[in-house]
A and B are shown apart, each in its own frame.
Chain A
Amino acid sequence: MRAETLLNACVLLALAAVPLWAWVADEPFTITLATRLAILALAGVGLNLALGLGGLVSLGHAVFFGIGGYAMGVLASHAQSYTPLTDWPVLIEGTKSMPVIWLVAMGASGLAALAIGALSLRTSGVYFIMITLAFGQMFYYFAISWPAYGGEDGLSIYVRNGFPGLNTLDPIQFFALCYAILALALWAMARLMRSAFGLALVAARQNAARVEAVGIAPYRLRLVAFVLSGMITGLAGALFADLNRFVSPVMFSWQTSGEIIVFVILGGVARLYGPVVGAAVFVLLEHFLGGLSEFWHIWLGAVLLGVVLFARGGIIGLVVGREVRRD
């Protein structure tokens, strides 16, 4: 078995084992921490598709995280107040059903990614970073100044949304749901990395002229990658909002975009489990160092600096080295 596959299996097992232990030991807070980790990792898996495979350094992925969050917030708040979203031209009611919320979250963030990507992908390099950042700030300020859904204060949802057959208020059951989604996303991502689309997308990152010369337009590849990426991050946003039972404009902030990038870079850009490892380091540092000092980001910065300077390929690259497919 390849070293990286082994490492990935260990990470996935550990992420299941710790909350199971916490469940037996009756430590619900640890389960919540693991749930948070799984959800943030999912957001990173989304970004990794654009940033890692596609080489698209998006500093605006908070847009999709936030849209996912607000999809949950808006639908659930209407459901809890028994008011429809609109009654014209058709009656649209809120919902407390997670599957419906997820579909709306992914659909809305996919559409937003299509619009943002169609414009931003005409640029590259630092201009791409700046344009995605600008879109992020637009959504942020829009959310702040939109009083219908809490504005700056955000929106609280009193009861976690439901999933058929599960009691989502039970921490271990909600964790299992998030874990299953993360595993599914990782599986799909693994398939995608080996697919025709994945080959062309990665080749376009390494050498766009080559891809064009064989008859494949890089723009289309990148746009599709950006949309899929936004949809996954949007789904993570919906789960994140459900975890906290709260949404606020902070989900749209550029710090959120930056944190998602940090997950990917810490773990290993374009590595399948990079965002999982990165999110794990982030959540653990936040938990242990955050308890000591509110300035724990200094230590995160030091770790990030070390990884960027000394470990090309992130923490995964540091552990298992460079991998090239040999078949």
Chain B
Amino acid sequence: MTEVLLDIRGITKRFGAVTACEEVSLTLRRGEIHALIGPNGAGKSTLIGQIAGSLRPDAGSVWFDGHDVTALDTAARARAGLARTFQISSLAMEMTVLQNAVLGALGARGRVMRFFRDVMRDSALRAVAREALDRVGLWDVAAHRVGDLSHGQRRQLEVAVALTQAPKAFLMDEPMAGLGAEGSARMTRFLDGLRQHAPILLVEHDMDAVFALADRVSVLVYGRVIATGAPDAIRRDARVREAYLGDEALP
């Protein structure tokens, strides 16, 4: 059992003349929250895409749990234990909250090619789904159509579906996006407790949340990681201030 669960080794991605990621290396250790910050257009989404498997890097490799997963697609990486939440809620909108959660549990369990048994009466899958929905506080609306949920509830459901996958690591793309102060605070408390289950690679714009949660912070600017370190060190880092944080007072 290695300390490092997710190991990104020098990945580079170019789109024509634009280099979106240049020799990016990062690690995610067990039990930590590693925050990835950077100004808009720094290449965060491209990086997330390459880690999750939707984009193939031009160079470098992605190692997960001791295996090179660079050649695996998104679904295979998810089955290996990498659960992703999306910046813009990405759910089956016409289905119910419970159906989305059961889908997550089904993906983790496998055996999808079952054509006759009623999946919503599968007590094992339901139990996993119920536990995840309970934990994010969505069990009360389990029978609601996702399209009828509020924005905040959809953000919570994104996390709940990731929970149903019982992942080894979470890859979260701006879970606080659009949540408002109170919602952000609640999500921050929730993620704080989550790191014991599995480490989180957290892309986030909400600096209060980042500095409250992160064990380590990496700063991505123009496709390069310009600094990695403890929140305090990052706060004091002159290059980071210059490149990204400006002269604002940091929390």
B119 and A210 form a contact (CB under 8 A): no
B90 and A195 form a contact (CB under 8 A): no
Question: Which A residue's beta carbon lies closest to that of B108?
Answer: A215
A196 and B119 form a contact (CB under 8 A): yes
A216 and B91 form a contact (CB under 8 A): no
Interface size in chain B (residues, C-beta < 8 A) = 44
B249 near A: Cβ within 8 Å?
no
Within the complex, which residue of A197, A207, A216 is in contact with B115, where a contact is CB–CB below 8 Å?
A197
How far, in Å, is A210 (CB) from chain B's closest CB? 5
B-side binding surface: helix, strand, loop or mixed?
mixed
CB proximity to A under 8 Å, residues B30-70: 52, 54
B75 near A: Cβ within 8 Å?
yes
Q: A196-B112, A211-B103, A213-B74 are in contact. Are A206 and B90 (CB under 8 A)?
A: no
B134 near A: Cβ within 8 Å?
no
State A203–B100 Cα separation when bound (angstroms).
8
Q: A207-B92, A210-B91, A326-B96 are in contact. Are A215 and B78 (CB under 8 A)?
A: yes
How far, in Å, is B19 (CB) from chain A's closest CB? 25
B115 and A215 form a contact (CB under 8 A): no
Q: A203-B92, A209-B90 are in contact. Are A197 and B114 (CB under 8 A)?
A: yes
**Which chain A residues lie closer than 8 Å to B79 at the CB level?**
215
Within the complex, which residue of A221, A325, A327 is in contact with B112, where a contact is CB–CB below 8 Å?
A221
A198 near B: Cβ within 8 Å?
yes
**Which chain B residues lie closer than 8 Å to A216 at the CB level?**
75, 106-107, 112
Within the complex, which residue of A197, A200, A213 is in contact with B78, where a contact is CB–CB below 8 Å?
A213
CB proximity to B under 8 Å, residues A207-223: 207, 209-217, 221
Question: Which A residue's beta carbon lies closest to that of B116?
Answer: A191
State A144–B84 Cα separation when bound (angstroms).
52
How far, in Å, is B14 (CB) from chain A's closest CB? 23
Within the complex, which residue of A195, A215, A326 is in contact with B118, where a contact is CB–CB below 8 Å?
A195
Question: Which B residue's beta carbon lies closest to that of A270?
Answer: B94
Q: A194-B120, A197-B115 are in contact. Are A325 and B92 (CB under 8 A)?
A: no
A324 near B: Cβ within 8 Å?
yes
State A206–B84 Cα separation when bound (angstroms).
18
A199 and B106 form a contact (CB under 8 A): yes
State A224–B164 Cα separation when bound (angstroms).
25
How far, in Å, is A139 (CB) from chain B's closest CB? 28
B111 and A196 form a contact (CB under 8 A): yes
B145 near A: Cβ within 8 Å?
yes
**Which chain B residues lie closer than 8 Å to A194 at the CB level?**
118-120
A10 near B: Cβ within 8 Å?
no
- Which bracket fits the contact residues of A? 20 to 34
State A199–B76 Cα separation when bound (angstroms).
19
B113 near A: Cβ within 8 Å?
yes
B117 and A195 form a contact (CB under 8 A): yes
Question: Which A residue's beta carbon lies closest to that of B161?
Answer: A214
How far, in Å, is B115 (CB) from chain A's closest CB? 5
How far, in Å, is B52 (CB) from chain A's closest CB? 7
Question: Which A residue's beta carbon lies closest to that of B113?
Answer: A197
State A207–B146 Cα separation when bound (angstroms).
12
Q: A200-B103, A325-B120 are in contact. Are A213 and B115 (CB under 8 A)?
A: no
Question: Which B residue's beta carbon lies closest to that of A327?
Answer: B120
Q: A197-B115, A324-B94, A325-B96 are in contact. Are A213 and B84 (CB under 8 A)?
A: yes
How far, in Å, is B130 (CB) from chain A's closest CB? 12
State A224–B113 Cα separation when bound (angstroms).
9
Question: Which B residue's beta carbon lies closest to that of A191?
Answer: B116
0/1 string, A298-327, CB within 8 A of B gives 1: 000000000000000000000000001111
B102 and A199 form a contact (CB under 8 A): yes
Q: A203-B103, A324-B96 are in contact. Are A212 and B115 (CB under 8 A)?
A: no
B74 and A199 form a contact (CB under 8 A): no
**Which chain B residues lie closer than 8 Å to A325 at the CB level?**
95-96, 99, 120
A192 near B: Cβ within 8 Å?
yes
CB proximity to A under 8 Å, residues B105-137: 106-108, 110-120, 122
A59 near B: Cβ within 8 Å?
no
State A33–B98 Cα separation when bound (angstroms).
44
B228 near A: Cβ within 8 Å?
no
**Which chain A residues lie closer than 8 Å to B103 at the CB level?**
199-200, 203, 210-211, 214
**Which chain B residues lie closer than 8 Å to A63 at the CB level?**
none
State A197–B118 Cα separation when bound (angstroms).
10
Q: A196-B114, A199-B103 are in contact. Are A217 and B75 (CB under 8 A)?
A: yes
B92 and A210 form a contact (CB under 8 A): yes
CB proximity to B under 8 Å, residues A27-86: none
State A213–B102 Cα separation when bound (angstroms).
14
**Which chain B residues lie closer than 8 Å to A283 at the CB level?**
none
**Which chain A residues lie closer than 8 Å to B54 at the CB level?**
209, 212
B145 and A324 form a contact (CB under 8 A): yes
**Which chain B residues lie closer than 8 Å to A269 at the CB level?**
none
How far, in Å, is A196 (CB) from chain B's closest CB? 4
State A327–B4 Cα separation when bound (angstroms).
41
**Which chain B residues lie closer than 8 Å to A209 at the CB level?**
54, 86, 90
7 tightest Cβ-Cβ pairs between the two chains A and B = A214-B107, A215-B78, A215-B79, A215-B107, A196-B114, A196-B119, A203-B92
